[in-house]
């Protein structure tokens, strides 16, 4: 009897092991189910709003945006044929250039001409919108500003075909420096860039003022070159 008792104890201990393992396994599964039920789904992170990238990332050199031969034709006696560039703290977003000169005709008087081109470029912004839409807003403001020029008379505005994605030509008369000036302003938008060309002239010392139709034709030519130079600068 003394020898069989220890053997019986060992058999009973071994038989109990599977029961303990099964119990432990069941306990583990129950806790896992409990954790799974109590776990909360992780909220998804909403993506930031996206906008279409702007088509153009830079501007042309303003004083080179209008061809030299065009400048020579529109401003025959320009003081500085290379033009006077506007000061800008961000040449990739805005810039401009101007030419002016007085062409003496002797006894027939003198002809004054002034030509300017300015650019404004917009980047796309998630909070403000696509660059081309922002340019559309600025384009409309430029047209309205030209039509509302103080002292302007005989104001007309009409679409200018063949210039950029959209363009408007504004013409008017303006009396200043004891002369009757004729003005032609062409505002054009190409994708996310707006170009504004202003061309005006007057006759002095008995010379007649330039014809409005001729002035407008020349302004549209300069505006088309300015608009085309935007795409060329981004190739």
Q: Note whether residue 123 is domain-resident.
A: yes
pLDDT, residue 44, reads: 53
Residue 211: pLDDT band (50, 70, 90) is very high
Q: Which two tokens stand for residue 137?
A: 């807003």
Q: Note whether residue 49 is domain-resident.
A: no
Q: Note whether residue 158 is domain-resident.
A: yes
Q: In whole angstroms, what is the distance from residue 37 CA to residue 87 CA?
A: 67
Q: What is the rounded (10 degree) CA torsion for 138, 142, 143, 145?
A: 130
Is the full-model pTM beyond 0.75? Answer: yes
* 133 class by beta-carbon count within 10 Å (0-12 exposed, 13-18 middle, 19+ buried): middle
Residue that the structure tokens 């119990």 belong to:
23
Q: In whole angstroms, what is the distance from residue 219 CA to residue 184 CA?
A: 6
The residue with greater pLDDT, 196 or 13, is: 196
Looking from the CA of 103 toward its CB, the CA atoms found within 13 Å total: 20
Q: Note whether residue 21 is domain-resident.
A: no
Flag whether pLDDT at 13 surpasses 50: no
Q: In whole angstroms, what is the distance from residue 118 CA to residue 63 CA?
A: 10
Q: Note whether residue 43 is domain-resident.
A: no
Are the C-beta atoms of residues 13 and 87 closer than 8 Å to each other? no
Q: Note whether residue 104 is domain-resident.
A: yes
Sequential DSSP letters for 86-142:
PP-S-TTTEEEEEEEEEEE-GGG-EEEEEEEEEEEE---BTTTB-HHHHHHHHHHHH
Q: Note whether residue 36 is domain-resident.
A: no
The pLDDT tens digits for 72-111 are 999 999 999 999 999 999 999 999 999 999 999 888 899 9
CATH code of the domain containing 136: 3.40.1000
Domain range enclosing 199: 62-233
Average pLDDT over residues 106-134: 96
Of 64, 115, 56, 87, nearest to 225 by C-alpha is 64
The pLDDT tens digits for 64-75 are 999 999 999 999
Q: In whole angstroms, what is the distance from residue 109 CA to residue 207 CA?
A: 5
- Scored b (16 or more CB within 10 A) or e, 145-181 reads ebeeeeebeeeebeebeebbebbbbbbbbbeeeeeeb
pLDDT, residue 43, reads: 54
Q: Note whether residue 8 is domain-resident.
A: no
Say how many domains are in the chain: 1
End-to-end CA distance of the chain: 104
């Amino acid at each position: 009897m003394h020898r069989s008792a220890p053997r019986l104890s060992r058999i009973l201990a071994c038989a109990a092991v599977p029961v303990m393992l099964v119990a432990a396994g069941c306990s583990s599964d129950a806790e896992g189910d409990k954790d799974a039920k109590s776990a909360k789904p992780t909220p998804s992170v909403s993506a930031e709003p996206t906008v279409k990238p702007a088509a153009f990332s830079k501007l042309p050199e303003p004083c080179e945006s209008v061809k030299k031969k065009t400048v020579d034709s529109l401003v025959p006696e320009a003081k500085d044929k290379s033009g006077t560039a506007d000061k800008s703290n961000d040449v990739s977003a805005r810039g401009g250039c101007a030419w002016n000169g007085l062409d003496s005709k002797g006894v027939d008087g003198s002809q004054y001409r002034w030509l300017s081109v300015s650019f404004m470029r917009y980047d796309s912004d998630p909070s403000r919108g696509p660059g081309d839409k922002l340019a559309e807003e600025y384009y409309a403001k430029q047209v309205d500003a030209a039509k509302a020029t103080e002292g302007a008379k005989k104001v007309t505005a009409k679409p200018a075909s063949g210039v950029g994605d959209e363009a408007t030509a504004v013409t008017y008369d303006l009396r200043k420096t004891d002369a009757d000036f004729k003005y032609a302003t062409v505002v054009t938008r190409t994708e996310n860039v707006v170009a504004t060309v202003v061309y005006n002239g007057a006759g002095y010392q008995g010379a007649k003022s330039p014809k409005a139709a001729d002035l407008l034709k020349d302004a549209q030519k300069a505006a088309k070159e300015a608009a085309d130079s935007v795409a060329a600068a981004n190739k």
